[in-house]
Structure 1
Amino acid sequence: MKDHFNFDVPLKNFFFKDLNVETTGGLVGTCLVVGAMTFLLEGAKMLMLYWSARIKQNPLTYGLTDFEDDNDRDDLTASLMIPASLEQIRSRRVKYHCLGLLTHIINLLMGYIIMLAVMTYNVWITIGVIAGSGIGFYIFGALGSNMQAKYAGLTPSLEEPSNFQINLAVPEEQHI
């Protein structure tokens, strides 16, 4: 294994022993596969943000974000769809947590594979990783900002005081 960046076409023992990339076409294909993995890694990062937003979501707003059929639900009836029990809320949060766990495992696995690809010190592989990450961030970053805007008001905040106030003062009688 070399300890400096190079432009060499033959890659010996790419990920496994005897997995060699001998041709320029093979190198281009390898760059595309590694770039696609990096693109998917960016998507998986956004998916992790989605799962964490769903876990933190106020249970009273589930009807505003769970759309099975958009034609059947409007804002008025969606606000009335509250969870039936605490057990339903817990099971939903456990489901989102388990999906987040699987997404985290996939993130970790793909991250290490991409790291190993860059550690071949091949410039073309590194360019494929950078291009895949840039394209992924461009596409999934827009989805991430839309998701943050959607869930920003649906997360309960314990630090902020409630805007709901009860005024118990009796108004003074006005004299004419």
Structure 2
Amino acid sequence: MHMWYWFGVDLGSFLFPGYNITTVWSLLATCLGLAALAVLYEAMKMFQIHLQEIGRKSVSRTASASSESSSLLSKVTPKNFRTYTRCAICSKWTLQVLHWFLHTTLGYILMMAVMTYNAYFTIALVIGGCFGYLIFGPTIVQLNMQRFYRKQALVTCDKNCADVYTNQQRRESAVSIVAEQLVTEANIEVHVSRDM
């Protein structure tokens, strides 16, 4: 096993026993497969954001449904509907866990391919990762920005709210400065009685 980068064709067994790379064609096919896995790895990042959004929406719906359970409409809602929503949340969470498992396993397989120190594999993985980011990167950035704007939209203020917020920040900073001065100037003496 090499402990430095090398350009070679004869790797012998690769990752799994019985998968031997001894010819140029088998090395080329493995490089193409690794590049495709690197593209898949980038695509799974985008799918993870979609799964998180689905999970966030279902949790917010059940939170609003649980606040409605104290109303008169809760008597009309059948119990099997509530059970169905719990099962749907559970299945969405199971899908997220399964996706995380596959994404992490794929990441470790790609890492093990790099750890062979074969320069061809590393080049193939970097090129595959670049293509994956070229294809899915703008979508990932867009989804993250949408999530940011959605969080920002939750805190909308008018002019009065903005004035109160800036005044509150000024007061908090003034209070924190005074508090820091008091903490540095405080001396505490503790006397413990030994009457036991």
| Class of the TM-score when normalised by the shorter of the 2 chains | 0.5 to 0.7
* Matched-pair contact (CA < 8 Å) for 1:59–1:89: no
2:94 counterpart (92, 95, 98): 98
1:59 matches 2:54? no
What is residue 13 of structure 1 aligned with on the other side?
A: 13
Uncovered stretches (5+) of structure 1, i.e. residues with no partner: 61-83, 165-176
Q: Secondary structure at the match of 2:17?
A: coil
* Matched-pair contact (CA < 8 Å) for 1:39–1:132: yes
Q: Which runs of structure 2 are paired with 1:132-171 in the superposition (5 Å)?
A: 132-149=128-145, 161=155
Q: In 2 relative to 1, CA 135–144 (structure 1 residues): closer, same or farther, beyond 3 Å?
A: same
The superposition leaves residues 87-118 of structure 1 with CA deviations (integer Å, 9 ceiling, x where unpaired) of 55544433321111111111111111111111
Q: Distance in 2 between matches of 1:128 and 1:25?
A: 14
Counterpart of 2:100, as a letter, is: H
Q: Distance in 1 between matches of 2:61 and 2:97?
A: 21
What is residue 40 of structure 1 aligned with on the other side?
A: 40
Q: Distance in 2 between matches of 1:116 and 1:156?
A: 40
What is residue 80 of structure 1 aligned with on the other side?
A: none
Q: In 2 relative to 1, CA 24–6 (structure 1 residues): closer, same or farther, beyond 3 Å?
A: same
TM-score of the two chains, using structure 2 as the length reference: 0.60
Q: Distance in 2 between matches of 1:117 and 1:16?
A: 11
In terms of Rg, which structure is larger?
Answer: 2
Q: Distance in 1 between matches of 2:102 and 2:118?
A: 24
Q: Distance in 1 between matches of 2:130 and 2:116?
A: 20
1:125 counterpart (111, 121, 139): 121
Counterpart of 1:127, as a letter, is: I
* Matched-pair contact (CA < 8 Å) for 1:9–1:22: yes
Select the structure that is richer in strand. Answer: 2
Select the structure that is richer in helix. Answer: 2
Aligned residues: 139
Q: Distance in 2 between matches of 1:54 and 1:151?
A: 12
Q: Distance in 2 between matches of 1:17 and 1:111?
A: 20
What is residue 74 of structure 1 aligned with on the other side?
A: none
Over the aligned positions, Cα root-mean-square deviation in angstroms equals 2.9
Q: Secondary structure at the match of 1:13?
A: strand
Q: In 2 relative to 1, CA 91–145 (structure 1 residues): closer, same or farther, beyond 3 Å?
A: farther
CA drift of 1:162 comes to 6.5
